Amino acid sequence: MEEISREKERVARIARLAEEKYAIKQKEIEEAAKKPKFMTQKEREEAALARLQQRAKNAATATSSSVSRTSSSSVSSKFAKVNDSSFDRHRQNQRKESTSKSSSQAEPTMTREQEKELAALKDHYLGKKVNKKKVLKASEKFSKNFQFDWEPSEDTSGELNPLYKRRQVNLLFGRGYMAGVDMREQRKKNSFVTELARKRQLEQKLADEQAGTLTAEQIAKRQRDRERELRRMQEWEANREREIDNIEAERVLHWSDKALENMSERDWRIFREDYDIILRGGKAPNPLRKWSEATFPTSVMEAVKLMGFEKPSPIQMQSIPIGMQRRDCIGIAETGSGKTAAFLIPIICYVSSVPPSMVTRTPDQGPLALVMAPTRELALQIEAEAKRLSQLTKIGERDTEHIVKTLSVVGGQNIEDQGFKLREGIDILIGTPGRLMDCMDSHYLVLNQCNYVVLDEADRMIEEGFEDQVTGILDSMGGLLKSENEAELEAQLNAADNEFKYRVTMMFSATMPAIVEKLAKTYLRHPAIIKIGDESSGKNKRIDQQVHFLNAGKKLAKLYDTVREILRNSKTRETAKIIVFVNEKKGCDLVARAVGKEGFYATILHGGKSQDQRDESLAGFRDGTYDLLVATDVAGRGLDIPDVTHVINYDVPKEIEKYCHRIGRTGRAGKEGVAISFLTDQDEDIMYDLKTYLEATDMPVPPQLASHPMAKAAPGARDDKGNIISKSKRDTVIYSG
């Protein structure tokens, strides 16, 4: 019995193993059937041919079976019993068969239609799940990696080529400090050059000694040549390492720590950005970083030190090198930025470099350089600074050597005295266009050898109506204009080191209206345009602008309160300097008398005063004799009155440009300032521009000004339909009662 049971177990185990093997084999067959089997072109053609033959065979078999069924039915019908009843039964059976066949053929069509109808009902009531086709963007079309038709386990490229076993990228250039190249790493790896040279020398020496074909002298000569070549290679390698170290050291230094010769274009660009220097237009040299790097004559450098200039201002940094190269330029900068020294220093350097023969001809041929200014005060101010800068500079022949002579020619002084001084010979002439033209008409002045001209406050001169005088003076100058072709201009500048026949024109202005731009295009050749700070020039955000909207009858009382608050405040009493601007001359006298009754000392400055009275008023205000300076727009531009703390616009001007220049008397040279304006309903012409200006300088706008109808749009502006939005006073119709 035990043997029988063991035999049964063995048989059962064998059966289970057979079943497991069969199941595994079936699974392998199924998996193999699922996998795509690679077939060659020949095998695919044979398989396609076999399928075609099988289809033809199946079609032939179906045709023969149908023919046999038809023939058998016809034979049987011949030998059937012929009687009416059997024939009827046979006919009925055929009808039933034909009916059943037709119904069986029509049934699938009806079923498909019913299924479609049922599916439509289900979609309507149950909701159809619609698979929307995703529209791929152009950037997503190739975002996915290529999908191969085989699995990763089937990739055999690693077995064929060992290179595929290392998938990581080799970093060939170290850590990549500069353009992907690590110079230090390269230097370590390239040190094999010296070792290779030594190795070759030793090998050559051993070969020569073993051969024994060379004499002792030849061996010594070869040894010297090898040592010399080795030293040369070592020096070359040391120089290369030194250059690499210098490049790496210079690359990380700030421009202020670099020597002048090591400054790159990127460093100069950063330098200009740090000082808000915007340079456009013609070719210009690099700016001046500090006075010690300038190429001035020693006398000019000593004068600069005596005046206490610690470092050049931004406008001086860029305009002085341009003037030293005798290039034309246009300078636009805020008030108090040092524009006067920016053009006087190049002029003095130019005058000191002219031949002595030109200096001796100044009594007959006229001055060597000319500066035009719009007002008397500005011209006198320029003359004073020119004398200080040229106090150590001597020019002329040895026997007649003298300090640079400067003279201001302005109105309000005796023209005969000015003509007498001009006949004695002047090197640098400063004047207003009107008086200069009078001197030329009276034959006191000629400009035959004047090749250096500066127009200071050019826009102001044009606004004052001096356009004809300015163009007349420029046309009468003897110097030649440089070529309009830039290549020819550069050639002229290179050839003009020892020649003084080409004219140099520099123009400094706060704004660039169209007429000033036209003047620049006529008389300047490829000028370099220098802008300092805000391109709109004059939007000085260091000035605290306060606008008070009030009735015209309350302006005087508000002025009393404002001045009293400033002068009697312990914080501002000692340092306060106040300028009060009015629009008319008679307003100056009225305001000055009213303020004087309140116990404040005020002086007056306007065009109706003589030159001596104006000089006395300015001198008293500068030294602190007077608390206030009441002035018209004569004091609005160009005057150098240091440390003005407050500007009060008792009468607001009608133009925003004049407002900018008035408040520019304070907040000069980087200092803080306060500008207070009294605005009334009569100041409609400036309301829109004033509101825009306050917003541009991040200053508060009074609610009365912000909501005023004339501040909504510029005067004369129209909407899309052509209707006037904001009428100016000229467009306003006043009806009589």
Q: Is 220 left (phi over 0), alpha (psi -120 to 50) or beta?
A: alpha
Please state, in angstroms and rounded to a whole number, the distance separating the CA atoms of residues 57 and 154.
40
DSSP codes of every residue in 597-638: HTT--EEEE-TTS-HHHHHHHHHHHHTTS-SEEEE-GGGSSS
pLDDT score recorded for residue 421:
92
The amino acid at 613:
Q
How many alpha carbons lie under 13 Å from residue 362 in its C-beta half-sphere? Answer: 28
- Nearest-CA neighbor of 353 among 321, 325, 373? 325
Structure tokens at 479: 């110097």
Crossing angle of helices 433-441/415-424, nearest 10°?
70
Structure tokens at 55: 């289809």
pLDDT score recorded for residue 539:
52
Please state, in angstroms and rounded to a whole number, the distance separating the CA atoms of residues 92 and 88.
6
DSSP codes of every residue in 548-583: EE--GGGHHHHHHHHHHHHHT-TTTTTT--EEEE-S
Q: Is 549 left (phi over 0), alpha (psi -120 to 50) or beta?
A: beta
3-state SS class at 718: strand
| Residue 37 DSSP code | P
Please state, in angstroms and rounded to a whole number, the distance separating the CA atoms of residues 189 and 183.
10
Q: Are 687 and 728 in contact (CB under 8 A)?
A: no
Angle at the Cα of 192 from the Cα atoms of 190 and 195, rounded to 5 degrees: 150
The full 3-state SS of 143-176, as one line of letters, equals CCCCCCCCCHHHCCHHHHCHHHHCCCCCCCCCCC
Crossing angle of helices 339-353/298-306, nearest 10°?
150
Please state, in angstroms and rounded to a whole number, the distance separating the CA atoms of residues 468 and 481.
19
Low pLDDT (below 50) residues in the chain = 74-83, 103-108, 168-171, 535-538, 730, 732-737
The structural domains of the chain, with segments of one domain joined by +, span 192-252, 280-532, 543-711
Please state, in angstroms and rounded to a whole number, the distance separating the CA atoms of residues 258 and 280.
25
CATH number of 543-711: 3.40.50.300
Q: Are 585 and 608 in contact (CB under 8 A)?
A: yes
Cα–Cα distances in Å, from 508 out to 285, 289, 450, 695? 18, 21, 19, 27
Please state, in angstroms and rounded to a whole number, the distance separating the CA atoms of residues 77 and 69.
13
Please state, in angstroms and rounded to a whole number, the distance separating the CA atoms of residues 153 and 133.
33
The architecture (CATH level 2) of 280-532 comes to 3-Layer(aba) Sandwich (3.40)
